[in-house]
Amino acid sequence: MKTPNLLFFLLLAFTFESCCFYGSCDDDFDDDPQAFSEYEPVFLSRAELEQSVRLKDPVQIINSGKIYVKDNLLFVSEVREGFHVFDNSNPENPIKIKYIEVPGSTDLAIRENVLYINQATDLIAARFNFDANTLSVTKRVENTFPELPSPDGYYAYDIPATSIVIDWKLKN
């Protein structure tokens, strides 16, 4: 009977030896999750974010995203930066009208001439007045969406107080 008890205790000892009771078992683990990411976060303060939606003259499309059509208007997303607005009355020759700058934007929906834009973690409603060429943010719902992860799936962990991740840039 001593042999089974001895085997049991040896097996138990080897099992506990594989556990980390006496030191750091994660010598290869870096406490900095962003150290693994190939990207670094771009921050904007809450105050700057809330004042950042602007109507500008047309700019060149550099990194296009989704395309939206509403009546005779065509909206082309500039990934995480804003939306290009075109007069699409003649689809063979769309004419640039304006550029809506919205840092951190990823999507747009339009209903009854209200633009619903997700800007980083917020949802904003805006009205674009075509006759007066003005844009006004009519409502902002803060923290509607989760924080923007990096393209390789990591999240910013050391976000400055009152700041929001609006984009990720490739590290040098």
Higher pLDDT pick, 33 / 107: 107
To the nearest whole percent, how much of the chain has pLDDT over 70? 84
Angle at 131 between CA 56 and CA 105, to 5 degrees: 35
Residue 165 lies in a domain: yes
Residue 80 lies in a domain: yes
Structure confidence at residue 161 as a pLDDT band (50, 70, 90)? confident
Q: Which residues pair with 126 in a beta bridge?
A: 115, 137
Is the pLDDT score of 27 beyond 80?
no
Who's near 34: CB < 8 A, 6+ residues apart?
A: 40, 41, 154, 156, 157, 158
Structural domain boundaries, residue 92? 40-170
Q: How does DSSP assign 97-150, residue by residue? A: EEEEE-TTEEEEEEETTEEEEEETTEEEEEEEETTTTEEEEEEEETT-SPPPPP
Residue 81 lies in a domain: yes
Write the pLDDT tens digit of every residue in 101-114.
Answer: 999 999 999 998 89
> How many domains does the chain fold into?
1
Running DSSP on this structure, what letter comes out for residue 53? -
Give dist(CA 7, CA 68) in Å, integer. Answer: 70
Residue 14 lies in a domain: no
Write the pLDDT tens digit of every residue in 52-90.
Answer: 999 999 999 999 999 999 989 999 999 999 999 999 999
Give dist(CA 88, CA 73) in Å, integer. Answer: 5
Is the pLDDT score of 24 beyond 80?
no
Residue 2 lies in a domain: no
Who's near 99: CB < 8 A, 6+ residues apart?
A: 55, 56, 57, 58, 59, 78, 82, 83, 84, 85
Q: 34-38, 78-82, 84-88, 121-125: which has the minimum mean pLDDT? A: 34-38
Q: Which residues pair with 109 in a beta bridge?
A: 116
Residue 156 lies in a domain: yes
Residue 5 lies in a domain: no
Q: Any idea how long the chain is?
A: 172
CA distances from 149 to 38, 63, 165 (A): 12, 18, 9
Residue 27 lies in a domain: no
